Each structure stands twice: as structure tokens, then as C-alpha cells.
Amino acid sequence: MEAQAQQAEKEDDFIYPIFYQYPPYFTLQPVKETQQKQRLLWKDLILRYCRHHRVFVVSAEDAEDFPLFHNPAINRRLTREFKVLLLDDLVRQGSALWSDRAQRAALVLWRAIPEWAELIYRWARGCGFEDSVVTVDEMQSGMYVTGTELEGLHREVLVRAVRNLEQQGKAKLFKGALGDDEGVKFFTQA
Amino acid sequence: MGQLISKKPRLEINEADRAVLTLKSQARKLEQQRQRIQGNVDREMAIAASLVAQGKKDRALLALKRKKLQEGQLAKLDAYLLNVEEMLGNLELTKNQQRLMAALKQGNTAMKEMQQAMPLEEVEKLMQDSADAREYEQNLRQLLGESLNPEEAEAAEAELHQLEQQLLDEHVLEMPRVPSGKAAAAAPAAKQEQPAAAVAAAAGVGGGAEEGGQQLEAPLAELPSVPTTKVQPPKEAAEAAAEEEAREPERVLVEA
């Protein structure tokens, strides 16, 4: 209940663009130039919306009915084709990743992976985790991330960011014995 | 060293890291279990309450017994968790100790190496060398100083004498002209001093007036050598000075 109330509160302070109230924008425009403009507007809106609500997964399925793609006030929703088209635009510009081949959902990177990596490394340094091991779970929901930007970070995004740090020689993802969680060891920068 | 040579630093995961990961995983699982059991306890409590309300005492008692059992497990779990956390803390501490030890060792080796770089004999030799160098330089200077032979030194000395004589002669030649020049210079100087003193007195600056008085003393001292023509102006000046001196204490008082 409380979570729902919070969600509603958040919903309120997100400012929707004016076009969100116009039914034509919920239909893919046939004229090429208009359509390009339309897709650009939607793309920015998706990124802004996800950043605001800290949403990582955007579903293209009709059954899921992602709130942004449905405006009950004007009784309009995007078709699956339109959603896939928009998410594909994001994937092409590197701001999203398809979660599966069937393109049922996409992982929206409203912060680029290197940015996440930088954020994680700064957090680890701040907590004194250099040369220490932190579990992936701890980085998502442990007491050290409470109230930080990392809280609730999507696992896939987190793993990709750690892989980015791995390339920089700042961290390593590893698995322990059978049944153990995944861990990340942070290194002091050479 | 290897890290310096290879471009990509080796990201090594050692046994301690794996141990930490295992412990942390265990801690998380224990935490989960604790939450589950806590849920069970709450549930049994609710069941017991509703059973009591229905008047089914036996079953309520059973529920409460189950609750007690779960609570016992909860206490054990808490103890385990504490244990795990203690172990993690110890591991971290030991790792830090190890690192500290390594750092101290490194510092020690570095110091030793530096000390080896300057053995005592070499320092001794260095000091000896610099002493030698000083001695050499002294010798050199001596040699260079003596490099002028006696005749040349004598010639130089003679030249010095000659220069001195020349200067003296010029002085002597100018002598006769000195008195008249000085007298001529002194008279106007005395005349000029007078208004200056008056101005100073009018301004009433204590220091300035006193200075004026002092300046007047010089021409007065020279007066005897000059023919006795004009005594008046200096006298007036002297009077002014005397007056000035007489007023001096007053002013000091006023100032005080």
C-alpha cells in the first residue's frame, strides 16, 4: 500500500510533455518526417521517465501495459509494433538493450554503462571497499547502498558496469564455491 | 614488479576473497532464513490467538509450542549470524595487518637499501676528497698569488705611491684658494640661514627650530677668522635661537 502511495506521489511530480495529451502522438505517423519527429520525442520521454522513476525494464508486451505507453486520460495506448520501434531506436543509439531475442522487454540505460561503472567505483572507494569483496546482492540492496544512486540497480546493468570496471583493471566479478553468491572485488587503481 | 611490466594489471582473486564471499553469502542466507522464521512465529501467534478465541485450547497450545520452537531457532540463527560477522571482521582485520606488515617491511628494506648506497668508507672517502680539494685550492691560490715575481710586485707598489703623491700634490696646489672661497661661501650661508630660522620659528615646529639653531652655530664659530664687518645679522640669529631655546621648555610642557 505504502509503495503504491509513493508511486502515485512520484507520478505527480513527473512532468509529461504536452504531446502526451494529443491522441495523434499515440499513432505511428505515416509521413516520414513527422514520424521521425514523433519517434525522437517519444525516445526522450522514455529516457526521462525511466530516469525519474528509476525504471530499468520497459516491456513492449501488450499484457504488461507499461504505464508510460498508456494514457487513460485520452484513452490511447501504443501498439506493440510502435513500442518495439521506439525501444529499437533506443537500442540503436546505445541507450537500451533487448532483454531477449523475442524483444519482449528492453533494459533502458538512462545512464550509460561507463557512467554506472564510474558511480560504482566511486561508491566502493567511498565505503573503503578497495581490495575488499562485496557481493552483488550487497551492491543492490545492502546497507551500504541504501539511499545512494546504486540502490535497486538492475542486476544486468550492474554486471555490465562491473565488466566495464574489469576492463579498466578496477574490479573483478567472480564466483565462489557452489551455491555462493556472485562477488565483486575492487582493486586500487595502479 | 610484474604489474609494472604488464600493461593490464592482474586482477587476482585469492583464497581469502573466496572465503569472504562464502561468508557473506552465508550471512545473506541466514538473514533470509531468519526472516522466514520470524514470519512463521508471527503466523503461529496469530493462529494461537484465533484458536483461543474459538475456544480450542489444545490446538492453541500446540501453536504456541511451535512458536516457541521457532523462536529457539531464531535465537540460534542470530548467534550464527553474529559468528559469521565476527569472522568477516577478523578476516578484514588480519588482511589489514598483513598489508601493514608488508608496508613496514617495504619501508625497512628501502631504508636499508638507501643506507647501503652510502657506506661509511665512502662517506669517509668523500670527506677526505673534499678536504683534499680544499687543500688543493688553497695551494693553487697561494701559487697564483705568488705568481707575480718580487720585481713586479715592487713596481706595482711604486705605481701606487706615485698615484698617491699625485693626488696629494693636487690638493696642495688648491690650498691657497681655500680660505677666500670658504669665507665667501660662509657669509651668504649665514645670511641665508637667518630667514630660514625665522620661518622655522614662525611655523613653531620644535624640531625644525632647533635644527635651525644648530645650523647657525657653524657660521658663528667661523666668525673670528673673518674680518669684523658684519656682526649684526648673526647676532640677531643668535638672539632668535636663544629665544627659541627659552621657549622650548614651555612647548614641551604644553605638548606633555
Residues of A with CB below 8 A from B8's CB? 169
What rounded mean pLDDT belongs to chain B? 76
Q: For A58, list phi and psi in degrees, rounded to 5.
A: -115, 120
The pLDDT of residue B221 is above 60? no
Q: Supply the pLDDT for residue B65.
A: 93
Picking from B8, B13, B98 by the largest number of A CB atoms within 10 A of its own CB, the best residue to mutate is B13
* A81 CB neighbour count, 10 Å cutoff: 10
Residue of B nearest to A165 (CA): B11
Query: H-type helices in chain B, by residue range?
Result: 2-5, 15-54, 57-116, 120-146, 150-174, 177-203, 206-222, 232-255
List the beta bridge partners of residue A105.
A59
Q: Supply the pLDDT for residue B8.
A: 53
The pLDDT of residue A133 is above 50? yes
Q: Are residues B110 and B25 in the same domain?
A: yes
What rounded mean pLDDT belongs to chain A? 87
Cα(B45)–Cα(B39) distance, rounded to whole angstroms? 10
Does the residue B236 lie in any domain?
yes
Q: Are residues B25 and B109 in the same domain?
A: yes
Q: Supply the pLDDT for residue A1.
A: 44
- Of the pLDDT bands very low, low, confident and very high (cuts 50, 70, 90), residue B207 is very low
The pLDDT of residue A179 is above 50? yes
CATH of the domain at B86: 1.10.287.1060
Cα(B1)–Cα(B106) distance, rounded to whole angstroms? 13
pLDDT: is B241 or B134 the higher one? B134
Q: Supply the pLDDT for residue B153.
A: 80
Q: Supply the pLDDT for residue B208.
A: 43
- Of the pLDDT bands very low, low, confident and very high (cuts 50, 70, 90), residue B236 is low
Burial of A39 by CB count in 10 Å (0-12 exposed, 13-18 middle, 19+ buried)? middle
The residue among B68, B94, B116 that closes a domain is B116
User: What three-state secondary structure class fits A147?
Assistant: coil
Give residue-wise pLDDT tens across range B36-57: 999 999 999 999 999 999 999 9
- Distance in Å, alpha carbon of A171 to nearest chain B alpha carbon: 7
Q: Supply the pLDDT for residue A171.
A: 92
- CB within 8 Å: B24 and A183: yes
b/e for A123-138, b at 16 or more Cβ within 10 A?
bbeebebeebbbbbeb
* B72 CB neighbour count, 10 Å cutoff: 11
Cα(B9)–Cα(B5) distance, rounded to whole angstroms? 9
- CB within 8 Å: A183 and B28: no
Q: Supply the pLDDT for residue B2.
A: 43
Cα(B90)–Cα(B87) distance, rounded to whole angstroms? 5
Does the residue B63 lie in any domain?
yes
Cα(A23)–Cα(A74) distance, rounded to whole angstroms? 7
Q: Which three cell numbers stand for residue B254?
A: 604644553
Cα(A40)–Cα(A30) distance, rounded to whole angstroms? 15
The residue among B116, B142, B170 that closes a domain is B116
Residues of A with CB below 8 A from B25's CB? 135, 176, 179-181
Helices B15-54 and B57-116 cross at an angle (nearest 10°) of 160
Q: Which domain holds residue B33?
A: 13-116
Give residue-wise pLDDT tens across range A89-125: 999 998 999 988 888 899 999 999 999 999 999 999 9
Residues of B with CB below 8 A from A121's CB? none
The pLDDT of residue B97 is above 50? yes
The pLDDT of residue B176 is above 70? no
Give residue-wise pLDDT tens across range B115-132: 888 788 888 898 999 999
**Dihedral over Cα of A52, A53, A54, A60: its sign:** negative
- Of the pLDDT bands very low, low, confident and very high (cuts 50, 70, 90), residue A13 is confident
Task: Assess B22–A contact: CB distance below 8 Å, yes or no.
Answer: yes
Q: Supply the pLDDT for residue B17.
A: 87
Q: Are residues B18 and B110 in the same domain?
A: yes
- Of the pLDDT bands very low, low, confident and very high (cuts 50, 70, 90), residue B75 is very high
Quote the percentage of chain A above a pLDDT of 90.
Answer: 57
Q: Are residues B190 and B110 in the same domain?
A: no
Q: What residue segments make up the domains of chain A, in order of their start?
A: 2-108, 113-186
Q: Do domains A2-108 and A113-186 have the same CATH topology?
A: yes
Beta carbons of B234 and B216 less than 8 angstroms apart: yes
User: What three-state secondary structure class fits A66?
Assistant: coil
Q: Which of A128-132, A181-185, B144-148, B183-187 has the lowest mean pLDDT?
A: B183-187
Phi/psi region, residue B204 (left: phi>0; alpha: psi -120 to 50; beta: rest), is left
Residue A185 is nearest to which of B13, B92, B99, comparing CB atoms?
A: B13
- CB within 8 Å: B21 and A180: yes
- CB within 8 Å: B28 and A132: no
Mean pLDDT of B201-223: 49
Mean pLDDT of B151-165: 88
Residue B21 is nearest to which of A131, A181, A187, comparing CB atoms?
A: A181
Name every residue whose Cβ is closer than 8 Å to that of residue A175 and which is 6 or more positions away in sequence.
A182, A183
Does the residue B8 lie in any domain?
no
Mean pLDDT of B104-114: 93
pLDDT: is B154 or B108 the higher one? B108
Domain count within chain B: 2
- CB within 8 Å: A135 and B21: yes
Q: Supply the pLDDT for residue B173.
A: 74
- Distance in Å, alpha carbon of A133 to nearest chain B alpha carbon: 6
The ipTM (two decimal places) reads 0.75
Amino acid in the structure at residue B39:
G
Architecture of domain A113-186 in CATH? Answer: Orthogonal Bundle (1.10)
The pLDDT of residue A3 is above 60? no
Q: Supply the pLDDT for residue B13.
A: 84
The CATH number that domain A2-108 falls under is: 1.10.10.570
Mean pLDDT of B133-155: 81
Name every residue whose Cβ is closer than 8 Å to that of residue A123 and which is 6 or more positions away in sequence.
A144, A145, A148, A149, A150
The residue among B116, B142, B161 that closes a domain is B116
Q: Supply the pLDDT for residue A64.
A: 78
- CB within 8 Å: B24 and A133: yes
